Structure 1
Amino acid sequence: MSVVVVTDSSCCLDRETVERYGIRVVPLHVISDGRELREGVDELPEDLSKVTTSGPAPAELTDVYAEALADSDGDGVVAVHISRQLSGTWEAARYAADAFGGRVRLVDSRNTAMGLGFSALAAARLAESGATLDEVYTRAVDVAAAGRALLVVDRLDHLRRGGRIGTATALLGTALSMKPVLHLVDGKLVLREKTRTMSKALAKLVDAVVDQCAELATIADPKVAVHHRDAPDRAKSLAEELSGRLPEGTELRVSELDAVLGAHVGPGAIGIVVSRD
């Protein structure tokens, strides 16, 4: 058989890709009116403003890892998960993986959305070629380390409520009517720079992505994912602008953030991930 790759539903990989490469996706949870619902499995509420979220339980991860290991015929499992700074999924995964004697290798992507998805996909593609567990693990780690994620939100309330940014940063975006550009550093969401309007924030976002892709293009063809939450026109416009400024050969995709990430960033949010294979 071959090594099997596992990830979680924050990866933003489409169903066709997941099925094509045999990637196993563990659902994150949305908690609404006391009910714990699984992203990608259960029907979720349209209004995410009052929901909370949680990672999968260790028992859920154990079941998925066990099935994936059996399907690999013992070749092993590489599990690539959302940043431990953003979710409790990593701790649950570490507890679950202990039961498999090193045959389940964990990767903290220090990222989310396609910052996680590109890593899982690169690992799965290599696994398909018959690579060893160590080789697939190393590929997942390398691609995750290359990922850069930037974010602009309409309001910081959602991120503050979920504990993903500090109160001081939230006040920057509300009391002072700022539109900060955020990015992930060592898996944690922090302020990159301050702007006064959404248009200026998005312009800064595009410029940063162009610079990062120019750096990556000296090593390999860059990959870019434009994410949005309830803002398809805004995402399409940004993607069109990027397509004219990115190095030739850059892979560019657009997708909407799923419910768990959407609940934290709120409607109108735009995120861009830059990575390489």
Structure 2
Amino acid sequence: MAARRIAVVTDSTASLDPADAEREGITVVPLKLVIGAATFTEGVDATSDDVAQALKDFVPVSTSRPTPEEFAAVYARLAQEGHDAIVSVHLSAEISGTFESAQVAAREAPVPVMCVDTRQVGIATGFAAGRAAAVARAGGDEAAAVGAALAAGESSSVLMYVDTLEYLRRGGRVGAATALIGSALAVKPLLTLRDGVVVPLERVRTSAKAVARLEALVAEAAEAATEGYDIGVQHLANPDLADQVAERLAGVLGRDRLPVNEVGAVIGAHVGPGMLAVTVTPRPG
């Protein structure tokens, strides 16, 4: 009996390089951005640089999830291509309605679709989708692929440094009181995700101390991953700092290099220029 063909879908906030997504057999559904009066599609005609410049110029920037109809079209195409089931892996439902759109589309899909809320953002979602795809390529069924994605999301550590909480406040991703405290005290906040929500982790007085503390926390997370881990460094309009952090961490962690990428335009719209994030996702035993 032939193994079931399982397709894996994710969204553009997963920060997957198109070549990597194609190699791993992952279909990416894009989110939309509105910059000023113009609407763009992430990964198609909107770049992180466009978003960073708009934010610096005080041009209004907002984002929108894929519609259920867009997901439905993808699911129908994958079914037509001969897949027996689909695992759809997405960013935290507490942050975006993308997961909800996927769920709505899944109800009418021609093959079973299992939707996964990773409770994460950025490359942590990408790592979770990659784990699901690896299970599917190895002949695992959809339940095993879902389990792998959920485990990756649950075990991931996402550590973020931002210059200001203002952009997260504008998008409703942190409370106004938290943002106000950060501004009033002139602190540099370190953030993480807890229960699918962006929350303050620590407040540090200077950016240099904040970055040093972030590196220490990353090293702790990596050391705790006894079976190995995937790691990625992301930034928005802050390549020099990202490269420096990646180089220092590579030395501490005993690696030749760490991958550094600019965060996707949609996430960039909410974190603002200057953001630096490091994600550590332990590998299963």
Of 250, 262, 265, which residue of structure 1 is paired with 2:268? Answer: 262
Deviation, 1:43, is: 4.2
In 2, Cα distance between equivalents of 1:54 and 1:62: 17
Partner amino acid, structure 2, of 1:38: T
Percent of aligned pairs with the same residue? 40
Deviation, 1:98, is: 1.1
Distance 1:12 1:41, change over 3 A: same
Please tell me whether the aligned partners of residues 7 and 79 of structure 1 are also in contact (alpha carbons under 8 angstroms).
yes
Partner amino acid, structure 2, of 1:34: A
Q: Secondary structure at the match of 2:219?
A: helix
Please tell me whether the aligned partners of residues 160 and 191 of structure 2 are also in contact (alpha carbons under 8 angstroms).
yes
Q: Which residue does 1:136 correspond to in 2?
A: 145
The TM-score with structure 2 as length reference comes to 0.91
Distance 1:51 1:62, change over 3 A: same
Distance 1:105 1:251, change over 3 A: farther
Q: Secondary structure at the match of 2:45?
A: coil
Deviations 1:42-64 (A, max 9, x none): 34545332210111111111111
In 2, Cα distance between equivalents of 1:133 and 1:15: 23
Does 1:80 pair with 2:55? no
Q: Which residue does 1:67 correspond to in 2?
A: 77
Q: CA RMSD in A?
A: 1.7
Unaligned runs of 5+ in 1: none
Q: Secondary structure at the match of 1:115?
A: helix
Does 1:211 pair with 2:220? yes
Please tell me whether the aligned partners of residues 85 and 188 of structure 1 are also in contact (alpha carbons under 8 angstroms).
yes
Matches within 5 A, 1:1-277: 2-43=5-46, 45-46=50-51, 47-49=53-55, 50-71=60-81, 73-100=82-109, 103-216=112-225, 218=226, 220-246=227-253, 248=254, 252-277=258-283
Partner amino acid, structure 2, of 1:241: R
Distance 1:48 1:62, change over 3 A: farther
Partner amino acid, structure 2, of 1:272: V
The TM-score with structure 1 as length reference comes to 0.93
In 2, Cα distance between equivalents of 1:3 and 1:114: 22
